[in-house]
Amino acid sequence: MPTFQTISPLTGDPIAEHELMTADQVDAALARATQAYTTWGETSLADRGKVLTRIAQLHRERKSELARLVATEMGKPLAQAEGEVELSATIFDYYAQQGPTLLADEELDIAGGGRALVRTSAIGPLLGVMPWNFPLYQVARFVAPSLILGNPVLLKHARSCVQTSLALAQIAADAGAPEGLYENLVIPAGQVNDIIADDRVHGVSLTGSEEAGRAVAEQAGRHLKKVVLELGGSDPYLVLADADLETAVTAADANRFANAGQSCTSAKRIIVHTDVWDEFLAAFLERAGKWTTGDPVDPTTKMGPMASESGRREVAEQVEDAVAHGATLHLGGVVPEGPGAFYPATVLTGVTPQMRAYAEEIFGPVAVLYRVDSVSEAVELANDSRFGLGSAVFTRDLELGDQVASRLEAGMVGINGPTRSLPNMPFGGVKASGMGRELGRFGLDEFANKKLVRFL
């Protein structure tokens, strides 16, 4: 049976060896999910909610174990990993508690006699293709709404996070999820297309790269399957002339360098008005210089290694290209010697469209700062991107902030702060950042049958 190893981002050594599932094992998982669709559909909403509540409880009870797995497999510092555990638990709690409201029949106001309503119901087993950068949270935001709605899930996690994925599957089982409701698939990426094509699968959600998104969308379209894609971003943070600089600097710094910069929604392009440029840059550099790297399981570590050597290599090449073409390197930018996929907090200015760093997403601890002379120039620069996930505007004039938000080509805009992920807030983007929404009512509706029932 084919096997593969997961590699420590801290040492570069193997962590564990895992067996890939055989075709027969995958087929059996699909059969179990199909059967679970029937049995779970006959389970009351109250009993579904109890399972989700227990999943949330088990996340909290096993917080230390889960956080250590995340730190070990992808390098996230323990404190940040523990925060991810708590966020995941709140998502399961939210759908457990709000399920009856979210799934209530919606009466329609119709002319003439009779009545009509829209009933929200499940569509069948779903495939989730999950990334490594938030290996708990991104599973929760796919799984929780699916389960409360009645859709079993087949989860293909990143190969670097197998131990985490196994721990999550065990939590589902220990919480009382019936057989087949939560199936963990340890398979190569090339097998995803076969599962999407299978008639027993009725939708697919992917969080990952643009390349993966295109492949999944193409296969889903070919087989008429609903698809939700979250494909990353290059979020602009607009710091206007009247911004509270302490707030803006603090938010941009924390948002950019947490998780070693490996977040889809992160302050990757910081666009600063010329009136506050000097002050902002000085304060930002001071804060950025405090992001020391170290062992992610050490509670004093602020930034662990990047998740892989290949990811670090990509980021280093993007920075080197920018500097070679005239960008100014203010901080970092040098690959440290020794083991581990470490990369320092890095700050660039003077990036131009001729450089890779201008158009590409930098998925690592690199902040690019731009200087602009007006609000219109800031908006134009912010929208000059093929991405459109998150964004933020910092200004004391809330009416102006709202006007700028309306002009930004993004799925989410924060005024005077980042767009924090919360269970009841929709998450998603436009353009190359993907399609569809997760979380809240909008996430629940993505893989739902909005069935019209007409009484004549």
Q: Is residue 426 part of a domain?
A: no
Q: Is residue 422 part of a domain?
A: no
Q: What is the pLDDT of residue 126?
A: 98
pLDDT in tens, 278-287: 999 999 999 9
Q: Is residue 435 part of a domain?
A: yes
* Ranges of the chain with pLDDT below 70: none
261/122 same-domain check: no
405/288 same-domain check: yes
Here the CATH number for the domain that contains residue 261 is: 3.40.309.10
Q: What is the pLDDT of residue 419?
A: 87
Report residue 270 as tokens: 């910081």
225/245 same-domain check: no
Task: Give the contacts of 337 (CB within 8 A, at least 6 positions apart).
Answer: none
Q: Is residue 161 part of a domain?
A: yes
pLDDT in tens, 424-449: 999 999 999 999 999 999 999 999 99
27/133 same-domain check: yes
Here the CATH number for the domain that contains residue 43 is: 3.40.605.10
339/267 same-domain check: yes
Query: Does residue 254 sit in helix, strand or coil?
Result: helix
Q: Is residue 27 part of a domain?
A: yes
Element (H, E) at 432: none
Q: Is residue 417 part of a domain?
A: no
pLDDT in tens, 394-417: 999 999 999 999 999 999 999 999
Element (H, E) at 153: strand 153-156
23/137 same-domain check: yes
256/333 same-domain check: yes
312/405 same-domain check: yes
What are the residue numbers of the active site? Answer: 230, 264
265/203 same-domain check: no
Rounded-to-integer distance, Cα 331 and Cα 119, Å = 55
- Report how many domains make up the chain: 2
168/245 same-domain check: no
Q: What is the pLDDT of residue 110?
A: 87
Write out the residue range of the structural domain in which residue 315 sits.
236-409
pTM: 0.96
φ/ψ of 204, rounded to 5, equals -145, 135
342/445 same-domain check: no
Q: Is residue 188 part of a domain?
A: yes
Closest C-alpha to 317, from 293, 285, 343: 343
Q: Is residue 424 part of a domain?
A: no
169/102 same-domain check: yes
Q: What is the pLDDT of residue 256?
A: 98
Q: What is the pLDDT of residue 387?
A: 98
Rounded-to-integer distance, Cα 275 and Cα 295, Å = 40
Are 255 and 266 spatial neighbours (Cβ–Cβ below 8 Å)? Answer: yes
| H helix and E strand count, the chain | 15, 18
